[in-house]
Structure 1
């Protein structure tokens, strides 16, 4: 059930939470299997919360409410009888177990996404089951059941850069196109994930983004927003910055990713296609010399001006008193 003017159903929230559903902005994350969807969500959170394996990790609807207050994560596990348990300890283990428990109906997490500042609507990240999991035909039904409870907001579609054009992906993109037509308040952003796995001896990042753009255009998404990203690299970098202990494998990944991404000329931003960055691949001339616009955008980024602009924007939002905590726990 949804309130007047709301973008999302109250069904995504446990019954022991009080909140204004009209102040929730849903972001539904969808992908075919093994696109790195859970890794990308973990990268946004800056920590390993969702299960992350080379298989279909998500079998249950998982909702993550971005709470900007400095509190610990809380996990609400609701079973099929409607009973909810709450914990703030060993969250990764609790989620791993709950994801395999056939008696669990839904999982709700209250956490903080540091890169997103809530305004008049708090961000609700909704992780969805991969619809092409051959081991569980109920995943597709669960996905569209969740979509029925969304009136607007954002769909974050995670593409696997190394597997563009597979049949499952084409099918899902087609269904998302139908959904967007039926629900015009929905917007879609495409994250072109696993860019760290491409072999640039054969194709460049620019080539992959152009290929993705053609692919999406052919499937009904002309003029799409495409963000090339390495969720795994972002995850290990955030862990290092936070002082989080990493495994030996993660330390090895960190060294490899650092050498790949630290050069100023290797930035995913200069290949992205967004409403503000439509001419990334074109060039301009200054005193008879040609410069690639994407390279100039990166040079501007390196001056620190973008960080300053972000700080000004956040100060403006908070100064306007638009930052709101939209939920509280009873009792």
Structure 2
């Protein structure tokens, strides 16, 4: 039998994951999202006003409110004196509304939507006679009939237990039409979290460009990529396709932050914190990779003999003890065969000999820096990499040539992000040079690329600093960067 403290710990872990899932709903599709600001404000303020009495919600309300404020474009919920204006807000929620849909008059209000949302913010099973329920539905508040309230309570409890057939049975009534949002969001999140998970360990020396590579996988620049060592921490990035921004957690902390801006600054702050050992970020991955399943990237500190040995120790410990399916081993195309790299390769070789089920993919990054004028070539790079790896005990290595930097530049332009003057000049060069078939990095790999970009049909060009670029050509450069080759192994 579990001790009391173990039960508390498990409950906290479960509630932590539960509220992270609540933060993963696609609120840009929420019915209130399309309403006027006054209604949005009343709705969110009242949610917090009622739910803040719950102990579990109290622990996680800060990131939830941060998400709601940003998503629904409202401000300063905590400063609102709800008790003085709650009746005004309640009347706004339960107000009867009309609109035409498909040539039919639709009569509705948002009190049932609100009540279900409120119950979802309360962790765990909730009964009809719970004080929280009775307080919200009474005549001074939402004025929901007991039978309707009971249906919504059963609906929410069915969602929480994963009984989606039972939950769906309550959606037939017109007054519960808006509850489809919670049904769809909860079911999609539950199925996603129960699905297959693939975990990838990213290792390499300090100069291999791991941060740039990880930024390319994510599709946003969130990890500092300057050529200097980070502290001895592990960064884990978890793919959550419905999260609009980032969920940030560290060192088994009981809560989490929802970060809507300056994620790089937050990561840098934690990176400098001497007591923090592990940081987990959850958010989307790059749309060019289109992951439908759960994907986790574990980024290790870059090793370098001349720097703090804790970086190497943390990396070796991760290779030994982390749970992962595949190793992505990054190599610097311009610095093959350094002492740092040989040392790390030796340890990886020793480890995988005892774990034959752990495939290793060698990613030769910075292939765009090959100097053809100095009689260097991509084919020679591939062959020299094969020879080097064979000398270090890898007989038939899987090798990819990659330019994570070009991939990042292309994604920035496609996302409409601004470029620095230096980035603009470099992008102009790559836009011309890497569109050529001779610079297709996917041709210089041990396996042909099985994936091609899905080019949107609704847009022909994109502008950066008022300069137009052909969308199709950008995707060609992106494909030639080697980024799509990564999907061969995922």
- TM-score class, shorter-chain normalisation, is 0.7 to 0.9
For 1:317, the equivalent position in structure 2 comes to none
Unaligned runs of 5+ in 1: 1-12, 278-300, 303-309, 314-331
Counterpart CA distance in 2 for 1:147 and 1:22 is 25
Instruction: Report the CA distance between 1:262 and its aligned residue.
Output: 1.2
The structure carrying a bigger strand percent of its residues is 1
Does the CA contact (< 8 Å) of 1:174 and 1:219 recur in 2? yes
Tell whether 2:232 aligns with 1:59.
yes
For 2:354, the equivalent position in structure 1 comes to 182
Counterpart CA distance in 1 for 2:14 and 2:364 is 33
TM-score (norm 2): 0.50
Change in Cα spacing, 1:14 to 1:102, as seen in structure 2 (3 Å) is: farther
Does the CA contact (< 8 Å) of 2:327 and 2:361 recur in 1? yes
Residues 3-51 of structure 1, C-alpha deviations (whole Å, 9 max, x = no match): xxxxxxxxxx998226969843110110011111110111111110111
Residues 48-73 of structure 1, C-alpha deviations (whole Å, 9 max, x = no match): 0111111113631100011222x223
Instruction: Report the CA distance between 1:95 and its aligned residue.
Output: 0.7
Does the CA contact (< 8 Å) of 1:56 and 1:133 recur in 2? no
Number of residues of Structure 1 aligned to a counterpart in Structure 2:
266
Counterpart CA distance in 2 for 1:118 and 1:14 is 25
* Structure 1 runs, 4 residues or longer, greater than 4 Å off: 18-22
Q: Secondary structure at the match of 1:62?
A: strand
Counterpart CA distance in 2 for 1:102 and 1:273 is 42
TM-score (norm 1): 0.73
The structure carrying a bigger helix percent of its residues is 2
Change in Cα spacing, 1:58 to 1:31, as seen in structure 2 (3 Å) is: farther
Larger Rg: 2
Unaligned runs of 5+ in 2: 1-12, 19-189, 451-474, 477-483
Change in Cα spacing, 1:92 to 1:59, as seen in structure 2 (3 Å) is: same
For 2:4, the equivalent position in structure 1 comes to none
Change in Cα spacing, 1:228 to 1:17, as seen in structure 2 (3 Å) is: same
Counterpart CA distance in 2 for 1:227 and 1:58 is 28
Counterpart CA distance in 2 for 1:29 and 1:154 is 9
RCO comparison, higher one (Cα < 8 Å, 6+): 1
For 1:102, the equivalent position in structure 2 comes to 274
Residues 169-212 of structure 1, C-alpha deviations (whole Å, 9 max, x = no match): 11111111111112222111111111111111211110011000
Change in Cα spacing, 1:180 to 1:193, as seen in structure 2 (3 Å) is: same
Counterpart CA distance in 2 for 1:263 and 1:56 is 35
Residues 101-137 of structure 1, C-alpha deviations (whole Å, 9 max, x = no match): 1122221111222244445x51100110112253321
Counterparts of 1:203-222 in structure 2 under 5 Å?
203-222=376-395
CA RMSD, Structure 1 to Structure 2 (Å): 2.7
Counterpart CA distance in 2 for 1:90 and 1:53 is 17
